[in-house]
A and B are shown apart, each in its own frame.
Chain A
Amino acid sequence: QVQLQESGPGLVKPSETLSLTCTVSGGSINNYYWSWIRQPPGKGLEWIGYIYYSGSTKYNPSLKNRVTISVDTSKNQFSLKLNSVTAADTALYYCARVSHPDGSSGWYQDYWGQGILVTVSS
């Protein structure tokens, strides 16, 4: 059973960089896409971006040039960096596996971490 676990600071100061890591266990990070999704308190879900195990990425344009997702296959981990954070970036951050079985199917998040709350405050 694939499991994902987010880790990182729960408090980040405004204008600084939010850094989170997702550790994958019970399966290999290879041959899959891996995504980050966030949820502000009491609000809905926002897709942040994904990375393929080989390193190719796609990001949500709403986050412009503030986001970077990277992967470390040797550690079975992938990471999120979001710079120049403001209070609007306060959210529960989830990492998830993306499945895309074949060219006729869509892309869906089938395994999720439990989420980590990151608060942006001085």
Chain B
Amino acid sequence: DIQMTQSPSSLSASVGDRVTITCRTSQSVSRYLNWYQQTPGKAPKLLIHDASSLQSGVPSRFSGSGSGTDFTLTISSLQPEDSATYYCQWSYSTPYTFGQGTKLEIK
């Protein structure tokens, strides 16, 4: 199975900051990588699919990049409502493994 490693596991940033979260896979996954946001008490929400495709309705401050084994999720200007845990997910063949999550807090 493909292993997913996210970094950092947690971070704290200020409103307006540019934030980057990284996901590394144990083998190449081409561009089949998704990003989800989960706020406390809520179901995960799809942000990005296929490494860089912004899901409909997601603010444009979110963007994704990468291919192969290294991927990034970037928030260009952090907003208070972005406080959440972010997960990457491999998405081409089963099992669709998730990363361990990155908890983002607002200073």
Question: What residues make up the interface of A, taking CB atoms closer than 8 Å to B?
Answer: 35, 37, 44-47, 49-50, 58-62, 94, 96, 99, 105-110, 112-115
Contact = CB atoms under 8 A, between A and B. Distances in A.
Interface in B15-42: 31-34, 36, 42
Instruction: Say whether chain B's binding surface is mostly helix, strand, loop, or mixed.
Output: loop
Nearest to A57: B94
Contacts, number: 67
Interface residues of B, number: 26
B34 A108 contact: yes
Instruction: Say whether chain A's binding surface is mostly helix, strand, loop, or mixed.
Output: strand
A36 B44 CA distance: 13
Contacts of B31: 106
Closest 9 CB pairs of A and B: A106-B32, A106-B91, A112-B43, A108-B49, A45-B98, A60-B95, A47-B96, A58-B94, A108-B34
